[in-house]
Structure 1
Amino acid sequence: MTDILIETDSERVVLFIKGDTPPNFAQRALLEDTKFLMHRCNCSISYTPREANKCADGLANLGATHQDNLVVLDDPPSAIGPFLVLLSNLTSLRHLDLSVCALEILSLRFNQLSSHLPDELEQFKLLQFLNLRNNLLSGSIPTTIGRLASLEYLDFERNQLNGTLPQSFGHLSKLQQLYVSNNMLEDIVSEIHFTNLINLNRIYGSGNQLTLKVSRDWIPPFQLIGVELASWNLGPKFPIWLRPQKDLAILDLSYTGILDEIPIWFWKFSSSLYFVDLLHNQIHGEILYLFIASKVQHIYLNFNHFSGPLPRISSNLEDLHFSNNSFSRDISHFLCDRKDKQKKLAFLDLGENLLSGEIPDCSMSWQSLILIEMGNNNLTGNIPRSMGHLGGLQSLHLRNNSFSGEMPLSLQNWTNL
């Protein structure tokens, strides 16, 4: 299939497919699947208003001509047996076309599959896309997975798989995207697991109890766009192997046991970076500047041991979470920095720190704020009246400080809070 044009009357769908996938997007898996398949078949997508959209009618006509309860198996090899067992509890299955000898795409996500992954998986030599996300699969990942030489996309997220990642993963030289988050995997992951993964650009493995053990001077063979390893054991040192990653956009290393300062090079990191989550570690030290020249939009550094003054931030930032640290000193320089430039920040969380001084009257450059959390600090003085003119503000937390004077009338009458 080549040069296929897809029309949709949802402009938002077109924007999602053509742009970056938001890290917290509820349907991220579906969106990533769609992008992969469209790339494989050389598809393009365009927005067409409803009155001109003929796509839905065409699909409806196609469905009307389909035979019910159709199953096609073209000369199935022995490998199909375990997969038919795997499929046996898909009671709503109506159409199944498995030309197994040339099977390239297999997606069975969001079902109730409760078997083990069969060793016979290796016989699907041409398989490029395997998605078994959100099932009840248990047992270990078979070592034969490393013989799927054509595999580019592998998704086992949200199952009950245990054991470790087989070292045979290192043989999947064409693998681009690996999703194994939210299973029960444990044990050691080493450099051997990544030996030949030269095309890997996404690895999502959060929610497992894996330990990454690599040498201090290890240089990965891949260039990542997204890495989420929350709850892995990566510490105690900050992972230096990230430094060569020039295209990184999404980074989640929360709950990973890092007990270290963040090296200076990290704050001058990839210009593509827009999501950083390092919460619930024991990272310490001061932050002098925070991705000033980058596209970073979401930063989670809460529940660490950062200290010193608040750093300067980029005007592109939308979410900033610094709570439960030891940031101190006056906050005027932070809130009034480049006050003539409008900020995009929507969520500002500075609670549970050691911040002091008065809140300056610089709110007019923060018109995008939805939430302000400054509770449990050492702030003093009056609450500025300009806070009541933040049109989008919905949540304001200033408890357990030492403010004086009265609450400004602009806030007393604020119905959005």
Structure 2
Amino acid sequence: MAAAGSGSFQDGRIASKRLMMLVALLLVSCCPGYGFGDDDHVEVEGISSSCIESERRALLAIKSEMYDPDNWFSTWTGKDCCGWRGVACDNTTGHVTKLDLRYPYTYELWDMFNDGETIGVSKVNPSLQELKYLKYLDLSMNNFSHAPVPTMIASLVHLEYLNLSNAMFDGLIPPQLGNLSNLHYLDLQGWYYDDFLHVDDLDWLSRIPSLKYLDMSYVKLSKATNWFYIINSIPTLEVLHLIYVDLPYVPSPLPPFNLTDIATLDLSLNSNITSAMLRWLSNATSLENLLLSGCGSLTIESLQVALGALLNLKELDLSFNSLKGEILEILNNVSSSGLKHLDLRWNQLSGDIPRGSLRDLEYLDLSTNLIVDVHILASLGNLTNLRHLDLGYNLISGEIPPTVGDAVRLEYLYLSYNGIIGKIPQSMGNLSNLLELHLSGNKIVGWIPPSIGNLSNLLELHLSGNKIVGWIPPSIGNLTNLVYLDLSRNNIVGWIPPSIVNLTNLVHLDLSMNNISGYIPETLGTLIHMEELYLFNNRISGQIPETIGDLQNLRILFLSNNHIFGQIPKKIGKLHYLQNLDMSYNNLSGQIPTTLGDLCNLTVLDLSHNNIGGDLTNLFYGLSTCSQGASLSSLVLKDNNLSGIIPSSMGQLSRLQEVDLSSNSLAGNITEAHFLNLTSLSKLIIASNSLNVMLPNDWRPPFNASIIDMSFCHLRGKFPAWIRTQQQLQSLYLSGVGVSGSLPIWFSNFSKGENKLFGKIPKWIGRNLSSLKVLSLRSNLLNRVIPENIVNLTSLQVLDLSSNNLFGSLPSSLGNFTAMVEVQNDTRSLIEDYYSYIESILFTTKELIVEEHCSYSESILLTTKGEIADYTTILSLVTFIDLSNNQLSGEIPKDLTKLLGLRFLNLSNNHLTRRIPENIGDMKTLESLDLSVNSLIGEIPSSFSAMHFLERLNLSYNNLSGKIPTSGQLSTFDPSTYVGNKGLCGMPLPACPVYQTPPDARVKDDEKLDKLLEYTSIV
């Protein structure tokens, strides 16, 4: 549905909608019998004098079409239906008066959201209308798979309670529901994720005069232009939830206030909440809970009148409104002295909390605002009832005051992602009721105080991303209730403390990216509830203990980038729930244990950059025989000592998306059988092995890959025609595979170096490959000129045409490569990205970014100073041009200096003439520049001094003259940088003669060169 209102509201509609899901679920679960008091007729479930046979048969018919995976209806046997689960009868008549078929396992709703799966489909059997005396009906949380709300429900005129929420109904809510004039409780809350339910009007609600509870959240009300007047005509309403319903605009003047009993009002995620409506609300003196989250158009000024009049307010939610101003401007207008819950997150508020007020406050969320002053924490001592405080994602600087320890009732303290400095105060240990402590993403220094061990009730401790030093205190072992411990991305040293064995409830342990040394303690295997263990990027040595196999609930094990040696323990094969295993960048040896083939739930296996030998037969065979099929999607074994063949059983691993077996000693043939069922394969990397790629030209791969690297394998003959089927290909590496002939015109993104390609560079390259990032045709037999339209490769980051026979001048438009013009932003390492918190409007989560930052490290050959270096880098960071070892002539185009994002430039071993462009210093990001072995003349431009990142420079064997500029770092390079230029002098070469070059000498040099070129052309 299209939400009305401001653009910012529309932009966040989906994420905001998800944000409210938990609130909606809680409302459903916490208020199942709202509106029934002592005066109501009471039916006792399971107690009855008799059961009406026709109603028993109706119940069985209803049961027959309900999804029941856990045998919930197991009690629905025998003659007495009044004793069945979810059924209650009138004690006198025996009629069924209550039917509660609410799907009990709400966690599956989360699974549906996260995994795209659904709970089984149910249907509403027509026999429901036989239960004519029903007063209570709950069908919520089922999956009725977009069926319409059954109109027959309107015939159950005795209903007092009706709950159809989150049941995947679709279409128009039948206005016949207005026949249910006895309703006290009506919950029609739609599915939070899609726009299924809608109404044409709300007139039918006016026929339910005793309604106390109404929830129509996520139902599209955009056509109900009279909604405000209808709602106002139900004076019995006590609870109203209209979250994200696309409320129509209500023009002034508004009718007199009639909701005299209203206690809870939730209009969150609607944009047409006007100032007039807020003033109208000032009459709601019975209002206790006001929720206006994500309403977009709110201002502090428009709220002031209402907040000043709501004397009984206990809960106020103004989150996600971009409110601007001081916190005091809001809180000074809150007249209610009993406010307990205040949510102001995701606004643009600053300032402090008023001292001496809000003494009853229990919940305060000010996260994601513009709060700067750390003294806001000094106010905690006044908030003696505070249990939940969230100041995360602000701009708070300074040290945590010791008075934080006075808030002894605190259970949740969130200060993550601010600019807090200094040490964690010892007084933090006074917060004995604390359940969660979040201090991640600050600049906290010093040791973890031993007093942290006093927090005996703590469930979660988050200290990641600070500058904490020293050892982990042994007192950490006192936190025996701890479930989640994250000390990653600090400067912690020493061993993993033995006392960690006391944390028997630990589920998540993250000590990664520190300087922890020593061994992995064998006693770690006693923490049997552990599901996630992150120890990567440390200095841990020794062997992996066999006891790691005792962590039978383990799902994630990351041990990469350490100094671990020895063999992979066989007991790892007992970790049947393991999904991610990364032991890369260690010194592991031996063979891959056969037991790894038993890990059928494994999705990511990375053992790269070790010394592991043996073959892959048992691993692939074991995984290919998993009864439900192996889950493996990423297999990275590069840079090891693996030998033997790649078994064709790899083709049975149908979920594989990434395979990297490069830089091993694998041999044998690669055939169609290796890819038989690999329909999801996107990255195939088998480079630097002794493999024979025996794939026929007419082969049609079952996959559509984005990266293929078969460099330095054996692929003889012409260019493989099957490559043209790979429509999503971004990078292709076929260097040294032995193909020959001219480039096919259909070809797309590629790196095609060190083969026997000949002829000219085709002009279609500039027309058809606008998304090309890497063009590498080094070491071939290409001749002719470089086509001008090559600059149409706007995404190009790497251009390597070195070691060919190209001639002519450099294209004058060479400076127009779009992707090289802009300076590339520094990208954090993949490991750091894995642990970066990503705050969205919905939630904060840890997530590995693989698509945006390119998880495949490209290996690129680059010639500098006459040597070929292999640069392994993240492609998103590298930009270079290598045109060395050709027959290119003419001057270096001045426009080349527009490539401000270029990092490597090699034009050596050509016939370039004239001067180096004066403004070459504009290319400030250059790290390597090689102009050697050309015929360049004149002085070295002084602008070189601006190139602060320049690490490699080669200007040797030209005709340069004059003094080497002394500013910058030019004088610090080795003399070999300038050798072969007889006219050069000054550091690091011998000192220059004591005379000055006449001011017009440079002009005369240019004139001489022009005459020489003119004479040459005449001849």
- Compute the TM-score of the two structures, normalised by the length of structure 2: 0.34
Asked if the contact 2:456/2:478 (under 8 Å) is kept, the reply is no
Q: 2:504 corresponds to which residue?
A: 315
In structure 2, the residue corresponding to 1:189 is in which secondary structure?
helix
Which of 53, 70, 81 pairs up with 2:231?
70
Aligned equivalents of 1:194, 1:217: Cα separation in 2: 8
Alpha-carbon distance, 1:164 to partner: 1.9
Structure 1 residues 100-109 or 312-321, which shifts more?
Answer: 100-109
Alpha-carbon distance, 1:204 to partner: 1.0
Asked if the contact 2:282/2:310 (under 8 Å) is kept, the reply is no
In structure 1, the residue corresponding to 2:360 is in which secondary structure?
coil
Asked if the contact 1:183/1:207 (under 8 Å) is kept, the reply is yes
Determine whether 1:122 maps to 2:311.
Answer: no
Which of 330, 350, 354 pairs up with 1:163?
350
Aligned equivalents of 2:454, 2:25: Cα separation in 1: 27
In structure 1, the residue corresponding to 2:354 is in which secondary structure?
helix
Aligned equivalents of 2:29, 2:293: Cα separation in 1: 16
Asked if the contact 2:295/2:321 (under 8 Å) is kept, the reply is yes
Given residue 59 of structure 1, which amino acid in structure 2 is its aligned partner?
L
Cα distance change of structure 1 residues 224 and 308 upon mapping to structure 2, 3 Å threshold:
same
Cα distance change of structure 1 residues 265 and 406 upon mapping to structure 2, 3 Å threshold:
same
Alpha-carbon distance, 1:139 to partner: 3.3
Q: 1:5 corresponds to which residue?
A: none
Structure 1 residues 269-278 or 113-122, which shifts more?
Answer: 113-122
Which of 420, 443, 455 pairs up with 1:257?
443
Asked if the contact 1:257/1:282 (under 8 Å) is kept, the reply is yes
In structure 1, the residue corresponding to 2:448 is in which secondary structure?
coil
Cα distance change of structure 1 residues 140 and 70 upon mapping to structure 2, 3 Å threshold:
same
CA deviation profile, 1:258-283 (whole Å, cap 9, x unmatched): 101011121x2322211111110011
Q: 1:366 corresponds to which residue?
A: 551
Q: 2:517 corresponds to which residue?
A: 328
Aligned equivalents of 1:134, 1:30: Cα separation in 2: 17
Aligned equivalents of 2:292, 2:162: Cα separation in 1: 21
CA deviation profile, 1:83-105 (whole Å, cap 9, x unmatched): x9x987149xx9x9874233222
Alpha-carbon distance, 1:210 to partner: 2.1
Asked if the contact 1:326/1:353 (under 8 Å) is kept, the reply is yes
Cα distance change of structure 1 residues 271 and 37 upon mapping to structure 2, 3 Å threshold:
farther
Unaligned ranges ≥5, structure 1: 1-24, 77-83
Determine whether 1:153 maps to 2:314.
Answer: no
Root-mean-square deviation (Å)? 3.7
Alpha-carbon distance, 1:256 to partner: 2.3
Asked if the contact 1:71/1:97 (under 8 Å) is kept, the reply is no
Alpha-carbon distance, 1:191 to partner: 5.6
Q: 1:101 corresponds to which residue?
A: 285
Asked if the contact 1:191/1:214 (under 8 Å) is kept, the reply is yes
Cα distance change of structure 1 residues 169 and 255 upon mapping to structure 2, 3 Å threshold:
farther
Alpha-carbon distance, 1:416 to partner: 3.9
Structure 1 residues 348-357 or 226-235, which shifts more?
Answer: 226-235
Aligned equivalents of 1:123, 1:366: Cα separation in 2: 58
Q: 1:408 corresponds to which residue?
A: 593
Alpha-carbon distance, 1:35 to partner: 9.6
Cα distance change of structure 1 residues 342 and 326 upon mapping to structure 2, 3 Å threshold:
closer
Aligned equivalents of 1:34, 1:194: Cα separation in 2: 33
Higher strand share: 1
Asked if the contact 1:75/1:101 (under 8 Å) is kept, the reply is no
Cα distance change of structure 1 residues 34 and 354 upon mapping to structure 2, 3 Å threshold:
farther
Cα distance change of structure 1 residues 330 and 192 upon mapping to structure 2, 3 Å threshold:
closer
CA deviation profile, 1:286-339 (whole Å, cap 9, x unmatched): 1253335521101111000111111223121000111100110122xx2x2175
In structure 1, the residue corresponding to 2:581 is in which secondary structure?
strand
Aligned equivalents of 2:371, 2:345: Cα separation in 1: 11
In structure 2, the residue corresponding to 1:119 is in which secondary structure?
helix
Aligned equivalents of 1:153, 1:401: Cα separation in 2: 50
In structure 2, the residue corresponding to 1:362 is in which secondary structure?
helix
Q: 1:89 corresponds to which residue?
A: 272
Cα distance change of structure 1 residues 346 and 87 upon mapping to structure 2, 3 Å threshold:
closer
Given residue 426 of structure 2, which amino acid in structure 1 is its aligned partner?
I
Determine whether 1:244 maps to 2:430.
Answer: yes
Q: 1:202 corresponds to which residue?
A: 388
Cα distance change of structure 1 residues 87 and 98 upon mapping to structure 2, 3 Å threshold:
farther
Given residue 567 of structure 2, which amino acid in structure 1 is its aligned partner?
N
Asked if the contact 2:444/2:466 (under 8 Å) is kept, the reply is yes
Q: 1:6 corresponds to which residue?
A: none
Alpha-carbon distance, 1:235 to partner: 2.4
Q: 2:570 corresponds to which residue?
A: 385
Alpha-carbon distance, 1:135 to partner: 3.2
Which of 541, 551, 561 pairs up with 1:376?
561
Q: 1:346 corresponds to which residue?
A: 531
Asked if the contact 2:543/2:564 (under 8 Å) is kept, the reply is yes
Which of 44, 59, 77 pairs up with 2:162?
59
Asked if the contact 1:308/1:329 (under 8 Å) is kept, the reply is yes
Alpha-carbon distance, 1:199 to partner: 0.7
Aligned equivalents of 2:28, 2:86: Cα separation in 1: 21
Aligned equivalents of 1:70, 1:384: Cα separation in 2: 67
Aligned equivalents of 1:179, 1:42: Cα separation in 2: 33
Q: 1:137 corresponds to which residue?
A: 323
- Count, aligned residues: 372
Alpha-carbon distance, 1:220 to partner: 1.9
Identity of paired residues, percent? 24
CA deviation profile, 1:139-182 (whole Å, cap 9, x unmatched): 33344514432211101122x323223x4154111111001112
Asked if the contact 2:408/2:430 (under 8 Å) is kept, the reply is no
Cα distance change of structure 1 residues 356 and 342 upon mapping to structure 2, 3 Å threshold:
closer
Aligned equivalents of 2:20, 2:588: Cα separation in 1: 40
Aligned equivalents of 1:140, 1:265: Cα separation in 2: 35
Cα distance change of structure 1 residues 280 and 34 upon mapping to structure 2, 3 Å threshold:
farther
Query: Within 5 Å, which residues of 2 pair with 1:152-191?
Result: 152-158=340-346, 160-165=347-352, 167-168=353-354, 170-190=356-376
Aligned equivalents of 2:293, 2:466: Cα separation in 1: 33
Cα distance change of structure 1 residues 55 and 151 upon mapping to structure 2, 3 Å threshold:
farther
Q: 2:700 corresponds to which residue?
A: none
Given residue 109 of structure 1, which amino acid in structure 2 is its aligned partner?
S
Aligned equivalents of 2:340, 2:27: Cα separation in 1: 12
Which of 401, 408, 412 pairs up with 1:226?
412
Larger Rg: 2
In structure 2, the residue corresponding to 1:122 is in which secondary structure?
helix
Given residue 186 of structure 1, which amino acid in structure 2 is its aligned partner?
V
Asked if the contact 2:566/2:588 (under 8 Å) is kept, the reply is yes
Given residue 71 of structure 1, which amino acid in structure 2 is its aligned partner?
N
Given residue 315 of structure 1, which amino acid in structure 2 is its aligned partner?
T
Q: 1:294 corresponds to which residue?
A: 480
Given residue 462 of structure 2, which amino acid in structure 1 is its aligned partner?
D
Structure 1 residues 361-370 or 294-303, which shifts more?
Answer: 361-370
Alpha-carbon distance, 1:410 to partner: 1.7
Structure with the larger RCO, 1 or 2 (CA within 8 Å, 6+ apart): 1
Aligned equivalents of 1:213, 1:329: Cα separation in 2: 33
Asked if the contact 2:404/2:428 (under 8 Å) is kept, the reply is no
CA deviation profile, 1:54-73 (whole Å, cap 9, x unmatched): 35361354349632532365
Cα distance change of structure 1 residues 356 and 27 upon mapping to structure 2, 3 Å threshold:
farther
In structure 2, the residue corresponding to 1:265 is in which secondary structure?
helix
Asked if the contact 2:484/2:508 (under 8 Å) is kept, the reply is yes
Aligned equivalents of 1:229, 1:41: Cα separation in 2: 40
